[in-house]
Structure 1
Amino acid sequence: MTALKLCLPDSITPEQFLSEYWQKKPLLIKQGLPQLIGMFEPDDILGLAIDEDATARLLTQAASKQNGQPQWQLKKSPLTEADFDTLPEQWSVLVQNLEQWSPELGQLWQALDFIPQWQRDDIMVSYAPKGGSVGKHYDDYDVFLAQGFGQRRWQLGKFCDEHTEFVADEPIRLFDDMGEIIFDEILEAGDVLYVPPKLSHFGVAQDDCLTFSFGCRRPNLMQIIDSLADVATNDSSLFVPMILPQGQQSSGELQADSIDAITAQLLALLQSERGADIMRQAVCEVVSKRQYDVLLPEETLNTDELIQALAEGATLQADYSNRLLYNQTPEGLTLYANGQLLDSLDDTATALLTRLANGEHLTLDDMEGIDPDEVMEWLENGWIWLNYPE
């Protein structure tokens, strides 16, 4: 695939988008991803939803027998054909992590290269027949809603917060009041709508409709704390009991001074060079970790077939369903893949994986100086993908 045009209006630069729109206000990008047009049809997604390895949800809305009010029901994977036999008029099926099933779709992340790749989450697809929806809701993350098939009408309203009241006794977080509607348009195939975190939105299919959600996330503090503990477990010196000042106190009391002294030593560690190393590794492991299990290819090439494919014009590139990133430390570059530190790489491998993490396509000429069997391991681990010439 040739280099993609960035998914932004011609009148807006990446710098403008990041300063004026990112996490602040929505943006409609007409024909932001025309490559999506015709890439999938509804039957493709319906078939994928019942695959035993898929992560899917079936959301239906029907009138309650008690009061006639709309009531939602949610069923999660595994889904079967029988789940789709008797559906109400309004329903949707959602499939997560679609780029693991379609490397071609994953490559569309290139059009969003103005967002650091470590903030990419996954690509979710939502199929709905006419009238289908997932209700009025908001997300805690940034999302680019890309129309791939059919039409969907989107309404945007108020920003929500921790005080937003959800409809009781529903299987998903929904609310009734979106406040003042600030956006109300129908997206055609190829159109993209950027929605910042916590902005209420409501999409209704105008006909058979596929919407692809390119989600972007940042870690939360709980994830960082958990990762800090995991990384610090490997430092034996941290298991030595602390030296604390001791004064006269009642035998049953834990004084605030003791807690303050423990807190001070913890903060001193985090602000030290050793603490910086622990924090760096903890953050890198969190943001390179996949939300979903890796779906490894059932069949792989052997080394000779890999070399032959590269000789015939194939290229190597990062697999967009995996997480490959690097970090500059005082000692040099360190690389991470899917939440793991890659600590046994030589300089040649480090340089090649760094280029791949930056989105470069590598050819056979770039493989000079590296053992092809090592590259085969990258393929088998799912870090990279072999892209055949069109």
Structure 2
Amino acid sequence: MDYQLDLDWNEFLQRYWQKRPVIIKRAFSGFIDPLSPDELAGLAMENEVDSRLVSHDDGRWQVSHGPFESFDHLGETNWSLLVQAVDHWHEPSAALLRPFRRLPDWRIDDLMISFSVPGGGVGPHFDQYDVFIIQGAGRRHWRVGDKTPLKQHSPHPDLLQVEPFEAIIDEEMEPGDVLYIPPGFPHEGYALENALNYSVGFRAPSSRELVSGFADYVLAQELGSYRYTDPDIQLREDPALVQPAEVDALRNMMLDLVNQPTEFNNWFGEFISQSRHELDLAPPEPPYQAGEIYDLLQQGEVLHRAGGLRVLKVGDACFVNGEKMVTSQHQAASVMASHYQVNSDLLGEALDDPSFLALLAALINSGYWFFVN
């Protein structure tokens, strides 16, 4: 399915992106769900798939995590099934992410899909990331409040909700409508009838995550071996005092590590190209030989990227699933990052380079790209 999003991106970015929420009516005209509730339930039964059931009754909230064996015990109201990273496991659903590639790939995280019966929802809460919520089959009532400090509480250890809020958006959504919510805006949605919702979430790494990730890289690469020196140390009256200049020198030692562009780019490429959720990888058996790959591409076969695989460009290097693509064929690597499907025309003369063919074979044999048999 080729989903076409009716959105003036320039106006949206200027007026709404990370500024205020908005409902875009009929953003997808004639919207067709890429999967059924039964298919979503089937995914929630798989060990590798991250899923949860959220239900409430008389103010008592319950959360259970998949994989699930059965849904027969559930009633007809007040529960939701939520499945993360469906784009990794269901190719037709992954097509819903494509219209949002007007925003950078590195910011897009995954596609979460929920099925809710009447009254189903996860309660009032706010997120620390941008999200577009696409209404599929059924109707859902959404309330969104202004970005103001609200007390949070946990009605269940696996849920974090906020106190009641005054709504600035209070509307029903129908198939094809899209709700955009920036970080920090409280919201709650309840199904009015059996309903499917598709949430396109965005990554927003915290400074804690960045520092932790970079520290791991420094250790792994054995960087930062330079030690503190003070050849001009001065006597001081109070030996317990750490001089401001000494603190500055120590801080600069740490900043010098971050301020190495090549190392920082390599770390960030590895860090941001890693998926938060398991990938549906199927390495071929037996593995492909480079010559076989060359012949197949020359015969018109197309390579498809595995669902959810993150392929990103940082500087003049490309990274895939936490690894740098080491090649002199930068244009071909860039094509593989920009396109979900690649053929011999797109890869061009790089196919005549044995080292690039060897890289391509390694990527295919890892299950990152595949031929459709």
Name the TM tier (shorter chain): 0.7 to 0.9
Counterpart residue number, 1:365: 345
Matched, 1:220 2:225: no
User: How big is the shift at 1:118?
Assistant: 0.5
- Alignment check: 8 A CA contact 1:33 1:191 kept: yes
Counterpart residue number, 2:48: 53
1:204-353 alignment, distance < 5 Å:
204-233=190-219, 236=222, 238-244=224-230, 245-249=232-236, 253=240, 255-257=242-244, 258-271=246-259, 275-297=260-282, 303=288, 314-328=301-315, 333-342=316-325, 344-347=326-329, 350-353=330-333
Q: Report the more deviating stretch, 257-266 or 310-319.
A: 310-319
- Alignment check: 8 A CA contact 1:41 1:149 kept: no
Distance (whole Å) between structure 2 residues aligned to residue 143 and residue 262 of structure 1: 40
Distance (whole Å) between structure 2 residues aligned to residue 71 and residue 40 of structure 1: 31
Counterpart residue number, 2:73: 85
Distance (whole Å) between structure 2 residues aligned to residue 250 and residue 341 of structure 1: 52
Matched, 1:98 2:86: yes
Q: Report the more deviating stretch, 351-360 or 213-222.
A: 351-360
Distance (whole Å) between structure 1 residues aligned to residue 254 and residue 45 of structure 2: 49
1:288 maps to amino acid: S
Counterpart residue number, 1:125: 113
CA 1:173–1:87: 2 relative to 1, 3 Å: same
Structure 2 residue matching 1:185: 3-state secondary structure: strand
- Runs (5+) with no aligned partner, structure 1: 64-69
User: How big is the shift at 1:95?
Assistant: 0.5
Counterpart residue number, 2:35: 40
- Alignment check: 8 A CA contact 1:296 1:380 kept: no
RMSD: 2.9
Distance (whole Å) between structure 2 residues aligned to residue 34 and residue 381 of structure 1: 38
Distance (whole Å) between structure 2 residues aligned to residue 300 and residue 192 of structure 1: 42
Q: TM-score, structure 1 length as denominator?
A: 0.82
* 1:103-135, Cα deviation, whole Å (9 max, x unpaired): 222132220121100101110011111111111
Counterpart residue number, 2:24: 29
User: How big is the shift at 1:259?
Assistant: 2.4
CA 1:323–1:359: 2 relative to 1, 3 Å: same
CA 1:176–1:290: 2 relative to 1, 3 Å: same
Q: TM-score, structure 2 length as denominator?
A: 0.86
1:370-385 alignment, distance < 5 Å:
374-384=359-369
User: How big is the shift at 1:48?
Assistant: 1.4
CA 1:185–1:352: 2 relative to 1, 3 Å: same
Q: Report the more deviating stretch, 276-285 or 119-128.
A: 276-285
Matched, 1:159 2:142: no
User: How big is the shift at 1:29?
Assistant: 2.5
1:345 maps to amino acid: T
User: How big is the shift at 1:42?
Assistant: 1.1
CA 1:387–1:27: 2 relative to 1, 3 Å: farther
User: How big is the shift at 1:234?
Assistant: 5.2
- Alignment check: 8 A CA contact 2:23 2:179 kept: yes
Matched, 1:182 2:168: yes
CA 1:378–1:190: 2 relative to 1, 3 Å: farther
User: How big is the shift at 1:358?
Assistant: 1.6
Counterpart residue number, 2:62: 73
* 1:147-189, Cα deviation, whole Å (9 max, x unpaired): 222221111112144xx2123443311123222x221222222
CA 1:107–1:378: 2 relative to 1, 3 Å: farther
